[in-house]
Structure 1
Amino acid sequence: MEERTTVAPRRGETYAGRSRQQRSSERRDRIVAAAVHLFGTRDYEDVTVADVCAAAKVSKRYFYEHFDDRADLLLKVNREQNEWLLSGIAAAVPEQPANLAEVFGPALHALVGMLRSHPESARVIYVNAPRMETRRRGVLREDAQFVAKVLRRATGEPKDRLAYDRTLLALVAGLSEVIIHWISQDMPGDPDQLAEHLTGIALALVGSATSL
């Protein structure tokens, strides 16, 4: 009969039933959640790495396992929050919209609703992010490409790709400025009305570009 051998876990591999990787992931999640709250309620210059660590209940050692510095933290948090927003918008659009209104109506109502329900995330995405000019411009181009992908469900491919892409970039930049103003004013008024206004702007601008 063969003798069974048991390999004992290395010291520090598991703790309270969680692996080292799980604990590291949980710490990162706490850091990100703390960053969203702090960057979403304070100006970027008023938030320090020590503030984030204190809110997340982690040491700086663990912070630097995941992020290079405060700027890197904001960059990565902004990217993840923007991905969360775009995912929600994409899910709101029908798979086979009949026209542009069936794209922009649900998409922009979803966008405003998500931002209104998560004001701290809204500030991280739209208010603190503009401090990172290179990142902001990259996000606008990424969002314009996202809009183009969603619009293809209703319009197909444009005849003049360059003119169309420039129109969508102008659209995303313009809508972003309206949203930034709304967030900076503490989100006043009826969110459904804002979504309708944004939809009207989008239809007016893109409607003329679908034939390009």
Structure 2
Amino acid sequence: MEGSTAATTRRGETYAGRSREQRASERRARIVASAVHLFGTRDYEDVTVADVCTTARVSKRYFYEHFEDRADLLLKVNREQNEWLLRGVAAAVPAQPASLAELFGPALHTLVSMLKSNPESARVIYVNAPRMESRRRGVLREDAQFVAAVLRRAGGTPQDQIGYDRTLLALVAGLSEVIIDWISHDMAGDPDRLADHLTTVALALTTTAVSL
């Protein structure tokens, strides 16, 4: 009897060689991929939970195992996509840049390249996110903290902490607006030139606030 119960439990937990947790993870990944595609190609108001489920090939029951509603989905997908972008940017920063130009140049060229190669993710991060005002403001502060962490890793020293914090917040907000404008114009123009312009802006704002 015990053996039969154990076998039944094992059959219930595994299917096609995958555990319950693996199947749940795969379903969530499909939902997220569906959301990135739909939010990256349509306005937020034009995407429904049913649309996401249909594209992901999951039932609404499984959707609600991971997300509360459409707004919660966009919130979490935006956060995950932004984290993906920041990981790529962080990896591009030299371990010991000799100048701010050597820090910001590779970082911003990588950022623009990643967005150009992933236009749907770009829209999820920068275009649909502003519809959620509190999240947008939170992202700006998170990104400012990220820039501060990168500068600390490179040995950057703020000359005035309050001014430094405000400068980094102004920096990420300003760069974000330029990127939003670029995305809204279908990423027209030379991406390397855009990255150079962003680097120039970053240097102009930070040169007086931090030294390496």
Work out whether the TM-score is over 0.5.
yes
Looking at structure 1, the residues matched to 71 and 196 of structure 2 have their Cα atoms a distance apart, in angstroms, of 35
What's the counterpart of residue 165 of structure 1? 165
Same amino acid, percent of matched pairs: 80
Instruction: Decide whether the 8 Å contact of 2:159 with 2:209 is kept in 1.
Output: no
Correspondence for 1:29? 29
SS at match of 1:8: helix
Kindly tell me the number of residue pairs found equivalent between the two proteins.
Answer: 207
What's the CA shift string for 1:41-62, capped at 9, x where partnerless?
A: 0000000000000000000000
Deviation at 1:152, TM superposition (A): 1.8
Instruction: Return the alpha-carbon distance in structure 1 between the equivalents of residues 23 and 51 of structure 2.
Output: 21
- Checking the alignment, whether the CA contact within 8 Å between 1:95 and 1:153 is kept in structure 2 is yes
1:156 Cα deviation after fit: 2.8
**Which residue number corresponds to residue 50 of structure 2?**
50
Q: Name the residue aligned to 2:129.
A: 129
The TM-score with structure 1 as length reference comes to: 0.95
Over the aligned positions, Cα root-mean-square deviation in angstroms equals: 1.2
- Residue 7 of structure 2 aligns to which amino acid in structure 1? A
- Residue 150 of structure 1 and its aligned partner are, at CA, apart by 0.5
CA distance in 2, matches of 1:102, 1:66: 41
Gaps of 5+ in 2: none
In the alignment, is the contact (CA less than 8 A) between 1:31 and 1:56 conserved in 2? yes
Any idea what SS the aligned residue of 1:94 has? coil
Q: Runs ≥4 in structure 1, deviation > 4 angstroms?
A: none
Residue identity in the other structure for 1:27:
R
Q: Would the alpha carbon gap of residues 153 and 98 (structure 1) be closer, same or farther in structure 2, given more than 3 Å must change?
A: farther
Q: Is the CA contact (8 Å cut-off) linking 1:99 and 1:154 kept in structure 2?
A: no
Please, which runs of 5 or more residues in structure 1 have no aligned partner?
Answer: none
**In structure 2, what is the Cα distance between the partners aligned to 1:9 and 1:27?**
23
Give the structure 2 partner of residue 61 of structure 1.
61
Q: Is the 8 A contact 2:164 2:210 kept in 1?
A: yes
Deviation at 1:9, TM superposition (A): 4.7
